[in-house]
Amino acid sequence: MTIRLSVFLSMLIAVTGCVSTSNDAVPPSSPAATAAQTVAAKRGKMKLYSDTLGDAVVEGIAAGPDGALWFTDSGNGEIGRIATDGTITMQVDISVGVSNGITAGPDGALWFTSGGNPAHIGRITTAGIVTIFDDTGGNYPHGITTGPDGALWFAESNGSVGRMTTSGHVRHFQVTSSDAALQGIVTGTDGALWVTQYGINFSQLSNQVIRVTTHGKAKSYTVGVGPDFICVGPDGALWFAEEGSQAIGRLTTGGAYTDFSLNDRYAQPTGIATGPDGALWFTDSGGASKIGRMTTSGKLKRFTVPGDPSVEQITPGPDGKMWFTSPGPPLIGRVNL
C-alpha cells in the first residue's frame, strides 16, 4: 500500500440505493419506467473543470455560503472559488501556503489549513479577504471542521487536535502519540469531534478513529487500515474511507464498527461525504472507476471519471450534485446523483 505523498511528507516532517428500474414492478412502456430509466442514466454523469494555473495541486473542497465551491490548491498556495457552472471566479494567493483542509466557518467565511511547521490556519471571506492565524504548537494540519462549540477544530500531524476561535485564539489537545498523523475530522451527532489517525511512526498506516470531546477528552477505536477523510452519514454514524483496507468504514457513536469491502485490491478510498440522495459518496484514488456511491446497507455503485485522475476529496454542492477534486491532473469534477 502506497501512502499518498501529501500525507507521507507530513509524517516525515511532523515529528471527505440505486434507483430501481425493475421491469417486474413497472411495465417497460409505462411513463414511470421511462422516468426511472432516465434518472438512472443521468446518475454518475461527469463534468470536469481544469485548474490550469501553474503547478496546480487541487485537494480540499467545500461548499461556501455564497452558493459556490471553494478549494485548496497546494501546488500554487492558493484558495480558489468555482461557480456551479464551472467558472473559476477567484484564485487568491496565500502567503503561507495551503494544505488539504477547508470548511465553511460559523462566521460566514471559509477556514482552511496551511501545511507547514510552523503551522497556520487561514480565513478567507467570500470577497477574497484573507486573515492568517498562527497555529502555535501545531504541525502540518489537515482536515478542519466547525465544532459544536462554534470554534474551528483541525487535525494535526503531531497527534494533536487543534481548536481555534474565530478571533484566532488557539489551543491543542494531545489525543494520541506525537508521531501520529491525523487526517479527517468532523463533528458527530453526539456533540464530540471524531478524527481519523491515518498514519503513525512517520511512514506506516494506522487503524484508529478517535473521539474527542470539546474539553479534550479522547477515546480511540480500532478500525480498518489507513482511515482517511470522515463524515457523518445519513444514519447518524461516522463513515470514513479506509485507504489501506480497500473499504469504507462505519462507526457508531457508541463504538460499534463495521467495514464494507470495495472488492478491489487496487482501491484507495480517500474522501467521503453524504450526498443529498441519502447515500455515501467517496473518491478512490487507486481503483479504476474513481467515484463510488454506497448506501447505508453497503450496496455499492462505481462511476468512471474520464482520464483516470488521482481523485482526492468530495463534497455536496449547492446545486444538488457532488463535487470532487483531483491533484493530478489538477481539476475539479461534478457528478450527477
Domains and CATH numbers, the chain: 5-15+47-335 (2.130.10.10)
Residue with cell 482511515: 227
CA–CA gap between residue 273 and residue 292 (Å, rounded): 11
Q: What is the pLDDT of residues 276-301, one digit of tens each?
A: 999 999 999 998 889 999 999 999 99
Phi-psi region of 298 (alpha: psi -120 to 50; beta: other; left: phi over 0): left
pLDDT at position 45 over 80: yes
Burial class (CB in 10 A: 0-12, 13-18, 19+), 13: middle
C-alpha 217/C-alpha 235 separation (Å) is: 25
pLDDT exceeds 80 at position 105? yes
pTM of the predicted protein model? 0.89
Task: Measure the CA–CA gap between 76 and 165, rounded to whole angstroms.
Answer: 27
Query: Residues 239-262: what's their mean pLDDT?
Result: 98
Is residue 81 very low, low, confident or very high in pLDDT (cuts 50, 70, 90)? very high
82 pLDDT above the threshold of 60: yes
Predicted pLDDT of residue 259: 96
Chain Cα centroid distance, residue 87:
22
- Residue 1 pLDDT greater than 80, yes or no: no
pLDDT in tens, 18-32: 322 222 333 333 333
What DSSP designation does 128 have? -
Please state, in angstroms and rounded to a whole number, the distance separating the CA atoms of residues 145 and 168.
15
Query: Cα–Cα distance between 287 and 167 in angstroms, integer?
Result: 42
Residues 40-60 have a mean pLDDT of 88
Residue 64 CB neighbour total at 10 angstroms: 21
- The span from the CA of 254 to the CA of 256, in Å, is 6
User: Dihedral through CA 258, CA 188, CA 82, CA 127, nearest 10?
Assistant: -170
Helices of type H across the chain:
5-13, 31-42
CB 217 within 8 A of CB 225: no
Write b or e for each residue in 139-165: b if 16 or more Cβ atoms lie within 10 A of its Cβ, otherwise e: bbbbbbbbbbeebbbbbbbbbbbbbbe
- Please give the pLDDT value at position 163: 98
**pLDDT average, residue stretch 101-120:** 94
- pLDDT at residue 16, rounded to an integer: 38
| Predicted pLDDT of residue 86 | 97
Residue 197 has pLDDT above 80, yes or no: yes
Output phi, psi for 35, to 5 deg: -65, -45
Mean pLDDT, rounded, for 46-61: 94
pLDDT tens digits for 314-328? Answer: 999 999 999 999 999
Average pLDDT, the chain: 89
Query: How large is the average pLDDT for residues 216-235?
Result: 98
